[in-house]
Chains A and B, each alone.
Chain A
């Protein structure tokens, strides 16, 4: 078994997801890939899970997946470095205030929607409650 098998499985899932995403986009009449990445992720999770349980995938192949998994943060940094930050800062007060406003309000809604009971550590729950009380 080769490293490339793992990379090929990843790439295959990516392409299938992208095709399905474009198809959903076309059905919705939107000229963009709707959820293609999400679909590719679900596909990869299911396929890798099945292969591992069937013992049909070897360590080198998993390393091929693991490499790209760990390349994620460097890719994100390159992405940050190629954002239009100047555009964000020179968009005028309306753009800046609307951008800040939407983020702060959305942050406030996260605990409301995710529900505290799913929190894994009671320590964090205590902190959240403390903040709300204050």
Chain B
């Protein structure tokens, strides 16, 4: 009997995910309404619940895909995977104002370059403080603080050790999770309430999952502006880290 039910969930993964996410959001909006009087946005709470589920999924299965590693919840990985995520991000631009994007375009591009280089430098400093002295390891950890994709891409290109690559991925994950959870709380202190600052935010933070998740929990209207710059960030990081930034790091050491 239990197997029969489980099989229905397993064989209809995406549909199961709709139900699970629907229930999560209902619970989150209930908590937001009843316990925070709407001060903490429902979607921010839903994202935190999602991350907690992901943690327990990881503990239970030892996998890397959070709750999606639990067989009957594999559909969560599909619903939240890159295809549907990117598709929904593109859909957010429906309603965005092109004039605002043009107006802030220059600042967005500048913030992209500053964002990648700044994140890299911070990662490099932490790697150095923690005792790493070879350019390959330091560059890989610096690339990890850019995003958790740039880290392993750079590490693979430079032949870094798997231990260092693992640290770089973890640093990028910490960044993504913190941006997702922290953005709604920090938003008013950094003036994150208009299209220009959202584009700068996307360029500076870069992590697409963090930025779009964080902005969704802050003000869904800002999502397209943050996403339009953030989606260039990982590519730029993959371009700069194993090349120019590695060479510069190598000179300094």
Binding site for B on A (CB under 8 A): 10-11, 13-14, 17-18, 21, 24-25, 28-38, 40-42, 44-46, 48-49, 62, 65-66, 68-69, 71-103, 105-111, 113-116, 118-121, 124-125, 127-128, 131
Is A75 in contact with B192, judged by CB distance below 8 angstroms? no
Q: Which of B181-199 contact A (CB under 8 A)?
A: 182, 186, 188-194, 196-197
Tell which of A44, A74, A81, A98 touches B93, judged by Cβ atoms closer than 8 Å.
A44
A99 B171 Cβ-Cβ under 8 A:
yes
Q: Is the CB of B88 within 8 A of A72?
A: yes
Considering only residues 6-51 of chain B, those with a C-beta below 8 Å from chain A are 17-18, 20-22, 24-25, 43, 46-51
Please determine whether B235 and A25 come into contact, CB atoms closer than 8 angstroms.
yes
- Total number of B residues with any Cβ neighbor in A under 8 Å: 114
| CB neighbours of A37 from chain B (8 A) | 86, 89-90, 208, 227, 231
Distance, CA A123 to CA B192, complexed state (A):
13
Q: Which 3 A-B pairs have the closest CB atoms?
A: A91-B170, A99-B174, A86-B58
Q: Known: A37-B89, A81-B80. Is A72-B122 also a contact (CB below 8 A)?
A: no
Cβ-defined partner of B81 (8 Å) among A21, A82, A118:
A82
23 A-B pairs in the complex with CB atoms less than 8 angstroms apart = A14-B90, A30-B235, A36-B231, A37-B227, A41-B90, A46-B98, A72-B216, A76-B213, A77-B46, A80-B47, A81-B66, A82-B57, A82-B65, A82-B68, A83-B51, A84-B58, A85-B66, A92-B170, A98-B126, A103-B175, A111-B197, A115-B107, A131-B189
Query: Which residues in B have their C-beta under 8 angstroms from that of A35?
Result: 231-232, 235
Give chain B's interface secondary structure class. helix
Whether A82 lies near B87 (C-beta < 8 A) is no
Residues in B61-86 with C-beta less than 8 Å from chain A: 64-68, 76-77, 79-81, 84-86
**B201:A110 contact, CB within 8 angstroms:** yes
Contact A71 B101, beta carbon cutoff 8 Å: no
Residues of chain B within 8 A (CB-CB) of A40 are: 86, 90, 93
